[in-house]
Structure 1
């Protein structure tokens, strides 16, 4: 039986993405084909004991300098600690969570490593794992393709 080909969608080098479960909308993300795992900026990372006596990861997503920051403390009962290669090639231990990212109006569950990206221009980095899973290709000459597609879809419905 032949495998059905899924049409690929074009992403720009920069995209505006949503995290519906976190109530974060229009967060700037850099598409990085050199990174395997996606990453999101967070601070104040702590492992705490929850009411069920199980470990939970407690973080602040983004930071006060970001327009979408609301100071909400997030807790994740499911997380892992992994070695991730940083942008400078060094291995770092980072916490990894599963999160839903909305792009082109569709939600994709993927892994995000949690790291301090305050010295980076963009708070979110989208890696190859998501790109392959979502059947995306990257055109580095473009930006905000998902956002533009959503605006065009809304306009055509009106």
Structure 2
């Protein structure tokens, strides 16, 4: 796996299949949105585990495929922050934030993800400009430039 750089950014479509290997999520469809500052992941049943006053873990469930809700993945990750994030409707929401690795094709790099309920949204994941900055450019006329995986 390699990491894209500002000298050689990858061209991606406005939607791509991505993976979150640290969370054991091999495939999830993401909308790439340069208008969104922060990336977001659909998460349910989030709960905190406090290990020490300054170390917390967040447990949550992800249903990577909207059409297959029975395929739920239980995830656990270090909590790095809680932030007030304004959604596309202009409403502020306090969200948990984690850091994880993003895989797109043969590329791999660390990103921050806010956890929220995206059940009413078309995509379970939104990849914002902070995660893409200096690494990727979006060709809004195209989709799935990194390929369409076969789903089990």
Q: Same fold (TM over 0.5)?
A: yes
Give the 3-state SS of the residue equivalent to 2:102 in structure 1: strand
TM-score by length of 1: 0.79
Q: Alpha-carbon deviation of 1:55?
A: 3.1
Matched, 1:126 2:127: yes
**Structure 1 stretches of 5 or more lacking a match?**
151-158
Larger radius of gyration: 1
Relative contact order (C-alpha < 8 Å, sep 6+): which is higher?
2
CA distance in structure 2 between the partners assigned to 1:131 and 1:122 by the alignment:
17
Instruction: Map residues 1-158 of structure 1 onto 2, 5 A cutoff.
Output: 6-50=7-51, 54-62=55-63, 65-67=66-68, 70-134=71-135, 136-147=136-147
Q: Alpha-carbon deviation of 1:66?
A: 4.9
Give the 3-state SS of the residue equivalent to 2:141 in structure 1: strand
TM-score by length of 2: 0.82
Q: After the TM superposition, which parts of structure 1 deviate over 4 Å for at least 4 consecutive aligned residues?
A: 63-66
Give the 3-state SS of the residue equivalent to 2:147 in structure 1: helix
Q: Alpha-carbon deviation of 1:56?
A: 2.2
Higher helix share: 1
- Give the paired residue count: 144
CA displacement 1:12-60 (0-9 Å, x = unmatched): 111000111222223110011111111111100112334x685321111
